[in-house]
Structure 1
Amino acid sequence: MIQLDALTPLVVDYGLWVVAAAAVIEGPVVSVLSTALAREGLLPFWPVAAVLLAGDLAGDILHYTLGRRGLAQMPRAWRRWLGIGPARAQQLARHFGRHGGKTLMLAKLTHSIGAPVLLAAGMARMPLAPFLGWNALAALPKTAGLMALGWYAGDAWRLVELWLGRWTWLALAALAAGAVLWWFRNRPVS
């Protein structure tokens, strides 16, 4: 995760360029940290908000593109191992055709499952315009909430970073446990 101690000198030297690059990589933490820096007068508030929204959407587009184009580059054995075949792609396309907006909104407002859902939207070949529209709609309250947290509790950024990290690791651990259980249930018995 990005540390405020490392970000502050970079922001002083390079300003919003650092925030833009970092927001694409780690949007929630950067939203809190950069707003705390705006509160201290090191960054202009409204341009920070615009850069955070743009960085958030740029990260979403990267995930979408990876899902849309990366699947074809993935070795067939890996796709089979992950359960991503033509039938799964059709199932994803149907799901995102019917529930794409709801799925993206829910995923975007949770820190842990956003990336896999954005990848799945790309794999499902969800049209880009609705994808961006739903993500922009969800990015507004998410970014506003994180900025409010940074403005009012910016001094507690270490605690925010710790809790965001804990929830992410907890979600990943639950996914890993689920994958192991699924494997044990579905493995061939010899």
Structure 2
Amino acid sequence: MDNAELLALVHQYGLAILAPLALIEGPIVSILGGYLAGHGLVKLPALLVVVIAADLLGDAILYGIGRRGGRLLPARLRARMSRNTKLQDRLKREMQDHGARLLVIAKLTHGAGFAVLLAAGATRYPFPRFLLVNLGATIIKSSALVALGWWLGDRWQHAEVWMDRAIVAVVALAVILLMVWLHRAHRSEA
């Protein structure tokens, strides 16, 4: 879809077309929204409310999936996870002791967010605190992405390439850190 087609859709439907897209792919839609707000096609305050609400709803859905736990995982993985009670206990301790920090880091790094949001639900991190912490981090993240779109202007589509590269790097780093953490947890069990 080129800019002209996108602008025509936004002229016709306004934020109603951006809201569901923000739930599915929040960061790039936030950048797109910033571009649109910069051109006066959407109101900035309304845009911020939409992208923040969509981001929080997506986080709450992932929390809920984590809370429902193993029933949504493949049987083999579920069996393996349920046998490792020391790992489960450690994950619960980490979320209890450092949950807010983990949630903020996950939110701001984007790539690690999926796993941390699921873990928050799985460990029964208090939902009101979860929402409050995520709201604070989401306001910062969404505002920054909207500002980036405003600043990039007609070059907003280039942000997707940069974000894809950054996400790959962050996910790779998160996987490495998770492997180190799991290795240390396994060594402490022995």
**1:111, 1:164 within 8 Å by CA — same for their partners in 2?**
no
Change in 2 beyond 3 A, CA 1:4/1:178: farther
State the match for 1:143 in structure 2.
Answer: 142
State the match for 1:29 in structure 2.
Answer: 28
**Could you tell which deviates more after superposition, 172-181 or 2-11?**
172-181
Percent identity between matched residues is: 37
- Compute the TM-score of the two structures, normalised by the length of structure 1: 0.82
How far 1:11 moved relative to its partner? 2.2
**Mapping of 1:45-56 within 5 angstroms?**
45-56=44-55
How far 1:157 moved relative to its partner? 1.2
**1:4, 1:33 within 8 Å by CA — same for their partners in 2?**
no
How far 1:4 moved relative to its partner? 5.5
Change in 2 beyond 3 A, CA 1:108/1:177: closer
Structure number with greater CO (CA < 8 Å, separation at least 6) is 2
**1:63, 1:118 within 8 Å by CA — same for their partners in 2?**
yes
Q: Tell me, what secondary structure is at the counterpart of 2:93?
A: helix
CA RMSD of aligned residues (A): 2.9
Determine the C-alpha separation between the residues in 2 that align with 1:27 and 1:129.
Answer: 22
Q: Between Structure 1 and Structure 2, how many residues are aligned? A: 183
Deviations 1:43-98, CA, capped at 9 Å, x for gaps: 11110011111011011101111111142332441224568844333222211111
How far 1:139 moved relative to its partner? 0.9
**Mapping of 1:145-164 within 5 angstroms?**
145-164=144-163
Q: Tell me, what secondary structure is at the counterpart of 1:109?
A: helix
Change in 2 beyond 3 A, CA 1:74/1:156: same
State the match for 1:112 in structure 2.
Answer: 111
State the match for 1:129 in structure 2.
Answer: 128
| Structure 1 residue ranges without an equivalent (≥5) | none
State the match for 1:68 in structure 2.
Answer: 67
**Could you tell which deviates more after superposition, 74-83 or 28-37?**
74-83
State the match for 2:98 in structure 1.
Answer: 99
- Compute the TM-score of the two structures, normalised by the length of structure 2: 0.82
Q: Is 1:19 aligned to 2:49, yes or no?
A: no
How far 1:173 moved relative to its partner? 4.7
Q: Tell me, what secondary structure is at the counterpart of 2:109?
A: coil
Determine the C-alpha separation between the residues in 1 that align with 2:14 and 2:88.
Answer: 42
